Amino acid sequence: MTTAIALQRAGFETVVFEAAPEFKEVGAGIALSINAMKALPALGLSDEISTKGRLMETFTIYDEGGRKLSQTSNTSLNGIQGPGNFIIHRAELQSFLVSKVNQDAVYFNKRMIDFEQATQSIIIKFADGSECETKYLIVADGIHSVARKKLLPHAKPRFSGQTCWRGVITLQEMELEESFETWGRQGRFGLGPLLDHKFYWYASLNAKPNDSAFRQFGIRDLQNRFNDFHSPIPEVLAASTDADLIWGDIIDIKPISQYAFDRILLIGDAAHATTPNLGQGGAMAIEDAVILANELKKETDVNLAFLNFEKRRLPRTRKIVNESWRVGKISQLENSALISMRNWVMRHFPASVNEKQLKFLFDVDL
Ligand SMILES: Cc1cc2nc3c(=O)[nH]c(=O)nc-3n(C[C@H](O)[C@H](O)[C@H](O)COP(=O)(O)OP(=O)(O)OC[C@H]3O[C@@H](n4cnc5c(N)ncnc54)[C@H](O)[C@@H]3O)c2cc1C
């Protein structure tokens, strides 16, 4: 959506083919990190969106007893680099972005199943039997991208060893002025405030891929794992119902080394799906939108502009995917000695060092 917005704003004729029959209200919460928020003004979206979520001053990591392991102050990052982390309901973000795309240019029920590259064009083939001839194809069909599978068959989704439940609850009496994660021995729990006394939470456990026991998990099972964690985690789970649960294994794509294929360009999760540990998948997709529009404005040869985009995006997205993978492993250690060592190091690390490490995430060259 953000790429369609960016290209339409830049004056390029852009059409979106979407597999779903409609955009439904989906998902739980999503954090738009500082770099994502820095990209939004270029899309003309920053003012309006700010009323639809919560800007967070701090992100804290606790141990399961509630002892602070580290805290990132978005205000101090803010001072250096831009606006803070913003938490918004996914459904809110999606409907907002959809409303900013020229509606005549969005075609639903158009699931691409294949494409053919000709010299001067691409023929896209859809599941409903129809075809479309286009000059260029920007592939934004997510982690299970059909086009990426054809272009790079070896690049397959990679299971992180972790599985995750998410939900949104309403708790009138709860006050929370930060988003946090708790790294316990039994798993990881995250919480962040949305608008109107709503809260977004997630719980992550180490797992085998597509584990049938976890597939059946309900709130009671999560309470068995997380009820010894510090407040308000038990209260949050007590306020949740099985119907609130969204479950999925955590996967990414091991970094690939090509996004541009003549008239075809991979962007977003189709190009660089990452684990959610740094909250960067959506952020990178938003960065892609702005950077692609800028490269297309600078270079009239579109194939060359795609290559320039690839050159700029490969190193940064690779670094983020790898770093996120690493953070995922560190956050869900199981060995007690390693956990104690990790927690000690985190508690004694000055916040400034932590913030310095995050600087590369937020210092995006748009
Ligand atoms: C648990 C979890 C938490 C996350 N938290 C965050 C966070 O806090 N911050 C953040 O920035 N990111 C987060 N992410 C990552 C973020 O959700 C993704 O990176 C982002 O949605 C990628 O956007 P995309 O448009 O590339 O792909 P998608 O959001 O997957 O969208 C792909 C679209 O293509 C359509 N489609 C699929 N196949 C076809 C086809 N063959 N033909 C036509 N259309 C098709 C789909 O219906 C969909 O609309 C999280 C991810 C997970 C799993």
Angle at 327 between CA 217 and CA 313, to 5 degrees: 110
Query: What is the arithmetic mean of pLDDT over 18-40?
Result: 91
Q: Is the pLDDT of residue 339 over 60?
A: yes
Query: What is the arithmetic mean of pLDDT over 10-19?
Result: 96
| Nearest CA residue ID for atom 49, ligand 1 | 18
Determine whether the shortest distance from the Cβ of 20 to ligand 1 is under 6 A: yes
| Nearest CA residue ID for atom 46, ligand 1 | 141
Determine whether the shortest distance from the Cβ of 164 to ligand 1 is under 6 A: yes
Determine whether the shortest distance from the Cβ of 142 to ligand 1 is under 6 A: yes
Give the pLDDT confidence score for residue 77 in this predicted structure. Answer: 55
Structure tokens at 124: 């896209």
Distance from residue 119's CA to the centre of ligand 1 (Å): 31
Strand order in the sheet with 122-126: 112-117, 122-126, 131-134
pTM (2 d.p.): 0.96
Partners of residue 163 on adjacent β-strands: 205, 249
- More confident call, 322 vs 119: 322
Ligand 1 atom closest to the CA of 267, numbered from 1: 26
Query: What is the arithmetic mean of pLDDT over 121-132?
Result: 97
Determine whether the shortest distance from the Cβ of 278 to ligand 1 is under 6 A: no
Q: Is the pLDDT of residue 63 over 60?
A: yes
Ligand 1, residues 30, 286, 325: which to mutate, most atoms within 8 A of Cβ?
30
Give the pLDDT confidence score for residue 75 in this predicted structure. Answer: 61
Ligand 1 atom closest to the CA of 20, numbered from 1: 47
Determine whether the shortest distance from the Cβ of 125 to ligand 1 is under 6 A: no
Ligand 1, residues 115, 159, 269: which to mutate, most atoms within 8 A of Cβ?
269
Least confident of 65-74, 112-121, 287-296: 65-74
Give the pLDDT confidence score for residue 80 in this predicted structure. Answer: 46
pLDDT band at residue 218 using 50, 70 and 90 as cut-offs:
very high
Structure tokens at 16: 């979106």
Distance from residue 80's CA to the centre of ligand 1 (Å): 29
pLDDT band at residue 344 using 50, 70 and 90 as cut-offs:
very high
DSSP 195: S
Query: What is the arithmetic mean of pLDDT over 124-144?
Result: 98
Distance from residue 177's CA to the centre of ligand 1 (Å): 27
| Nearest CA residue ID for atom 20, ligand 1 | 282
pLDDT digits (tens, 9 = 90+) for 276-286: 999 999 999 99
pLDDT digits (tens, 9 = 90+) for 179-207: 999 999 989 999 999 999 999 999 999 99
pLDDT digits (tens, 9 = 90+) for 90-101: 999 999 999 999
Give the CB-side neighbour count of residue 80, counting CA atoms within 13 A: 15
pLDDT digits (tens, 9 = 90+) for 255-272: 999 999 999 999 999 999
pLDDT band at residue 353 using 50, 70 and 90 as cut-offs:
confident
What average pLDDT is seen over the chain? 94
Determine whether the shortest distance from the Cβ of 184 to ligand 1 is under 6 A: no
Q: Is the pLDDT of residue 219 over 60?
A: yes
Partners of residue 251 on adjacent β-strands: 159
Pick the closest to residue 170 from 200, 191, 140, 139 (CA basis).
200
Angle at 71 between CA 69 and CA 76, to 5 degrees: 160
Task: Identify the residue whose tokens are 């859809």.
Answer: 126
Angle at 273 between CA 215 and CA 71, to 5 degrees: 85
Determine whether the shortest distance from the Cβ of 127 to ligand 1 is under 6 A: no
Q: Is the pLDDT of residue 337 over 50?
A: yes
Cβ atoms within 10 Å, residue 249: 18
Give the pLDDT confidence score for residue 99 in this predicted structure. Answer: 94
| Nearest CA residue ID for atom 37, ligand 1 | 141
User: Is the peptide bond between 232 and the residue preceding it cis, with omega within 30 degrees of 0?
Assistant: yes
Query: What is the arithmetic mean of pLDDT over 291-298?
Result: 98
Return left, alpha or beta for 197; rule: phi > 0 is left, psi -120 to 50 is alpha, else beta.
left
Query: What is the arithmetic mean of pLDDT over 339-360?
Result: 87
DSSP 230: P
Pick the closest to residue 35 from 79, 89, 105, 83 (CA basis).
83
Burial of 263 (0-12, 13-18, 19+ CB in 10 A): buried
CA distance readout (Å), 182 to 61, 62, 101, 331? 6, 5, 38, 9
What are the residues whose beta carbons fall under 8 Å from the beta carbon of 108, sequence distance 6 or more? 18, 20, 21, 22
Determine whether the shortest distance from the Cβ of 92 to ligand 1 is under 6 A: no
Dist. CA 306–CA 285, nearest whole Å: 15
Give the pLDDT confidence score for residue 68 in this predicted structure. Answer: 96
